[in-house]
Amino acid sequence: MNLKLLESLALGEMRYFDSVGSTNDLAIEWANQNAPHLSIVIADEQTAGRGRLNRKWLTPKGTALALSVILRPEENTPLSRTVGLGALAITDACLKLGLAPQIKWPNDILLNNKKVAGILVETLWDGATARAVIVGMGVNFTKEALPPAEALNFPATSLESALGKAANREEFLREVLASFIARLPQIASAQFLNAWAERLAYQNEEVQIIAQSDEITHGKLLGLENDGSLSLQSVNGNRLTIRYGDVSLRPSA
């Protein structure tokens, strides 16, 4: 990949690899050393890309984007909103292409109700202080990026399928990072939360939240709490708060 397009952005340092296990793993290692704020790790291929809960994220060569951004948070940075920062950056880049992206809370981006991108946030702690936050992002560009149907827990798509033509990886990457940099100073604002909430998929629709224990919570999707948790209205009218981390969201059948 030609990364010249990124030169004008206010990034930290950049590391590019043709092939890696996982960009998040390299970013964690680098963040444990001396990676400056807004440093990035980019790879053309991931052989051991990770989703949440030890699920796999597929990134075959030349078909997708695998990117990890290293943040050095300030004391008052709302860490629980960093997944929203990744989601807003990817959806901003999709909107620039004329697409209609939605965020499947907490960490997936949908086009036409199919997953085109995923986000994996990992935090390095020094006791109670976050030393670094790694925002990993995987975006499918062509249909060759998609895992086989039997490996999917949700339908998948690519930018090319949604656009009807190829999307330029370097330009898309630039848009994602430009948006990420521009929105970071606003991360604690009400406008940030509103922009994030407006892009949620299934608003006012019945959804189910599947916990790791397989326990299912049903409710109508209302929006976001201040910390980025999901707000649902349960069948008996109570307001429920679903926290990020160990749950998967699906539309109700």
Binding positions for ligand ADP, rule: CB under 6 A: 51-53, 55-58, 107-108, 115, 118, 138, 140, 145-147, 151-154, 156, 248
Three-state DSSP class for residue 90: helix
Q: Is the Cβ of residue 9 or residue 99 nearer to ligand ADP in the bound state?
A: 99
Q: Is the Cβ of residue 35 or residue 69 nearer to ligand ADP in the bound state?
A: 69
Q: Is the Cβ of residue 156 or residue 187 nearer to ligand ADP in the bound state?
A: 156
Q: Which two tokens stand for residue 162?
A: 């949604």
Q: Is the Cβ of residue 151 or residue 188 nearer to ligand ADP in the bound state?
A: 151
For residues 80 and 130, the answer to whether their CB atoms sit within 8 Å is no
Which amino acid, one-letter code, is at 61?
K
For residues 119 and 83, the answer to whether their CB atoms sit within 8 Å is yes
Q: Is the Cβ of residue 152 or residue 188 nearer to ligand ADP in the bound state?
A: 152
Residue in the structure block whose two tokens are 């406008």 = 191
* Number of other residues whose CB lies within 10 A of the CB of residue 236: 6
Nearest partner of 152 among 99, 205, 116, judged by Cα = 116
Phi, then psi, of 65 in degrees rounded to 5 = -120, 130
Regarding beta strands 14-17 and 39-43, do their DSSP bridges make them parallel or antiparallel, or are they unpaired? parallel
CB of 183 to ligand ADP, least distance (A): 21
How many angstroms separate the CA atoms of 196 and 85, rounded?
8
